[in-house]
Amino acid sequence: MADKQKHLISLGVLVLLIAVSIFMIFPINKSMKLGLDLKGGLDITYTAKDTPGAKVTNDKMKQAEYILRQRADALGVSEPEIQREGARNIMVQLPGIKDPERAKEILGKPAVLQFAVVSDQYNTYTDQELNTLKQQGKPVVGPVLLTGDKITGAVATYGGQVGAQPMVNLSFNNEGANTFAQITAQNVHKRLAIILDGKIITAPTINEPIPNGKAVIQNIKSIGEAKEIALVLNTGSIPVTLSISEAQSVGPTLGADALRAGVVAGVIGFVLVAIYMLLYYQGLGIVTWVGLSAYATLVGGVIATIGRTYGWTLTLPGIAGLIISIGIAADSKIIIFERLKEEMRSKKTFRTAVESGFWHGFRTSLDADIVTMVGALVLFLIGIGPVRGFALTLVIGLVLDVVTMLFFTRPVLGLLAQIWPVKSPALLVRIPGIRRVAENA
Instruction: State which H helix or E strand residue 47 sits in.
Output: strand 41-50
Residue type, 201: I
> What mean pLDDT is reported for the chain?
83
Q: What is the CATH number of the domain that holds 311?
A: 1.20.1640.10
Q: Rounded mean pLDDT of 331-339?
A: 91
Q: Tell me: pLDDT of 390 over 80.
A: yes
Provide CB contacts within 8 A for 250, sequence distance 6+. Answer: 36, 37, 40, 41, 42, 43
Q: How far is CA 385 from the centre of its chain?
A: 11
Domain boundary among 81, 110, 139: 110
Reference 32, options 299, 390, 403; nearest CA is: 299
Residues 222 and 257 in one domain: no
146 Cβ contact list (under 8 Å, min separation 6) = 114, 115, 176, 179, 180, 183
- Based on the domain organization, do 299 and 428 belong to the same domain? yes
Q: Considering the domain boundaries, does residue 243 fall inside one? A: no
Alpha carbons 432 and 291: distance in angstroms, whole number: 26
What is the residue type of 347?
A: K
- Number of domains making up the chain: 3
Q: Let me know whether 392 and 435 are in one domain.
A: yes
- Per-residue model confidence (pLDDT) at position 179: 93
| CATH code, 131 | 3.30.1360.200
Q: How far apart are CA 316 and CA 300, in angstroms?
A: 15
The answer as to whether 246 is a domain residue is no
Other Cβ atoms within 10 Å of 248 Cβ, number? 11
Q: Please check whether residues 103 and 194 belong to one and the same domain.
A: no
Query: Does 245 map to a domain?
Result: no
**Is residue 342 domain-shared with residue 406, that is, in the same domain?**
yes
Of 133, 148, 1, the closest CA to residue 67 belongs to 148
Under 8 Å between Cβ of 314 and 32: yes
Query: Is residue 375 domain-shared with residue 388, that is, in the same domain?
Result: yes
Res 437: pLDDT: 43
Encode pLDDT of 173-203 as tens digits: 899 899 999 999 999 999 999 887 788 888 9
Q: Identify whether 242 is part of a domain.
A: no
Q: Please report, as a single letter, which amino acid is at residue 215.
A: A
Show the domain range for 47: 41-110
Instruction: State the alpha helices, DSSP H only, in 187-246.
Output: 223-233
Is residue 295 domain-shared with residue 426, that is, in the same domain?
A: yes
With respect to residue 244, please indicate whether it lies within any of the assigned structural domains.
Answer: no
